[in-house]
Chain A
Amino acid sequence: MPPLLSVSNLTVGFDHSSHFVPAVIDVSFSIARGETLCLVGESGSGKTLTALSILRLLPPSARIASGALTFKGRDLRPLGEREMQQIRGAEIALVFQEATAALSPVFTIGSQIEEVLRVHGRATRRTARQKAIELLEVVSVPEPARRVREYPHQLSGGLRQRALIAISLACGPSLLVADEPTAALDVTIQAQILDLLRDLQRRLGLALLLITHDLGVVAEMADRVAVMYAGRIVEESPAAALFHEPRHPYTRALMSSIPGGPPGSRLRAIEGTVPPLGQFPPGCGFAPRCRDRFEPCSSAPPATDLGGGRTVRCFLYPGSKDPAPQILQTSPHRRAESEQSAPQVLQISPDRRAGSSDPAGR
């Protein structure tokens, strides 16, 4: 079966006077029906722009330079604004990070849900209210008949995020794009929203493109993960394999830098800083901070298929189709070193998890 959404060789950037500044470079991925793909990266990695490109909601200063976006076999790029409006909300819905900013403060929650229903012709004025209440019920808002008449400021952060998800679900989309949907929430509320998203996905067969910088959220939610750095996807993998054995030096370094190990011990920090937009290094974006860098890294590494649904863009992994013996020769010690320093399975010690989750552990 063809994927629900496929993004191929997408390049997005900003026009600055005479030159084009790329922010997303040659990004390809696809999402199957009912699947969760996490796009993980730090600020400036291009993950949000990638998502906005799919919905064609880029800021006016940005543009898609090249690439193809195919949804349900249909090419999205030539579609006009009117046709995109038919797709947004109805087929592909977006959940924003800041529910407070995404909701209008001057309309009730109910009227904001009803607006979506009526715009897409899913309800009449008479039936819309009842549907809005049902949608709030779907996202587990308590007392939906009362909440539907309330304004966003009367709701807690968690309930506002639920209301926003209710709006996104109003027209029964098959793909939900969620941009850091829990970043503004406390960890206990985050857990509830993640549970809700997972539950909705099961019940409604939704595909989820989840954009996050939080590896914990990725571990909980993802079927597959695409790791972005400096505008490129550097590694793509099924979630379990990625956490078990990250391959790209960036993913490995990031995972080993997470606090863990003996309390008080020095963390394995990554040197340097994230390159700002317009200053992405030529070649591999991570090379200047990478402990394993060697001569070839000054040119962009191709995607190497590692099998098992894993691809990585790094010269440490000579392509299976195109073995590059000269690379192997120049870096044997580096490979050995990097494998030694590769993190083992990341986990919280079992006693801690038991302690924190055992209700009888008084």
Chain B
Amino acid sequence: MSQVKPVVLFETEGSYPYSGGGVSTWAHILCTELENDVDFHLLAITGNPFVEPRYKIPKNVVDTIHIPLWGVEEPVHYYDKTMPFSGQIEKKANTTREIVKELFLPLFKDFISCLNDPFQDVDKISDVIYGFWKYFQHYDYKITMKEPILWYVFKEMLTDKYVDNYDAELGDTPKVIDMTFGMRWLYHFMMPVSAPIPKEINVSHSTLAGFPALASIAAKYEYGIPSMVTDHGVYMRERLINVGRSDMTFFSKKLLVDLSTMVTRAVYHTADQISPVTTANQKWEERFEADPKNILPIYNGVDTDLFKPTPKPSKTEGVPTVIAVAQVFPLKDIETMIRTCAIVCETIPNVQFTVYGSLDVDPDYVQGCRDLIDELKLNDNFTFGGFHNNPSMIFNEGDISILTSISEGFPYTVIESMSCGRPVVATDVGGIKDALEDCGILCKPRAPKEIAEGVIKLLEDTDLRIELGNKSREKVLLNFTTDRSVKNYLESYNELAVKPRSPLKETVKTESVLKLLKHLKMSKPVYGD
């Protein structure tokens, strides 16, 4: 193996180190566990600038480039610490209308053509993203993006695509507000493309295949730095679900999804390694340009010393107890869990279902669940436990665990329960099968009867429950430990860090980008060069 210490540009969005949650926990474990083996430069995207790290940053995190997408008037100065503000002023002065017209406008036109057809040649999309990065290393982001000519080109290209060549199937035409938001989103979401790339890095690792990985694309083009992407969920799938359901106009949704689509495709296309946390997402990844030979799942891991089997505490002793750990909101389908409880009660009247997790995510949904509990007269059998101050003990309170989600990635709660030797009855969605196969019970989603049968079977058959519990623990020890997960990442970093570098800028074919590169080669160096 190599002698090169991996120095990783670790790219996050809405998570580590400024927010809590599963991805942040995973990221923190990774950084902390690799304290002696890997140095990290964080590139963290947040919504606003006023956030504080939620975690104690380990020593090997040598730098944080914090990019707030909103709330900063001079964004580049906020995150580009390599240049004093006087240098930024000089960049502003250099960003003349002629420069924008001559160098940026062709890039922008290509970019919008990609946005209008995000499934076109992915090489072109990647080239243009690199072109953006290269341009913004020399010229000011805000002044450029505010140039009126870009707005008019944007308008013309949207009109050409959606008005002049009206596609009746879409069932709508863009409104002025779509254009306003569309262009503002470009300004905000593309900000990471103007971030400087630390020269000392030798690997880039994005925690999702979206906007933070723009830096990976640039690094790959400029320096040939190998990159990897971790997919906890599938970014595009989640984007399609969340944007699709949002309260926006049709074209605002479309522009946002198309922007994400082109970025995601470029990210997958340029990534050397795509590591989903489960095999279940591969079909989605492949649809967005992920090369199957680059897909190498790395499962999440659990601390098996912390999550270990212990006897049930006195408060649940003698009571058939089913534990769930889930935030109470529709994707977790708690209503099905309640209906399951009702069916189980018919056979095991003293069964106790307890759901630990936040009740604040969707108060209306929580109320609906409470109403259902009242309606089914389950107040003695089904309770919301809220926050638990000792997560590792939660699963040991029960005989078994349950998860009724209708959509999942690779949930920690399942492997944590398994690590505690408590078998799980869960819906067969996302990557749950990877964890539960042969050691738990998989059911159809939204099928309370089937789920209840699984619960009853495990609660009534003690031998089976113990057998599956033991198997679960064994499976975790074998496949899903933190050590193993972290070791897999370290191996990937080590391999990527010594991988021969071949900067993709040598392969650029897009005219607008070639023109920019030629211009920059011939022009005198500007500040910071």
State yes or no: do A and B come from one complex. no
Binding site for A on B (CB under 8 A): none
Binding site for B on A (CB under 8 A): none
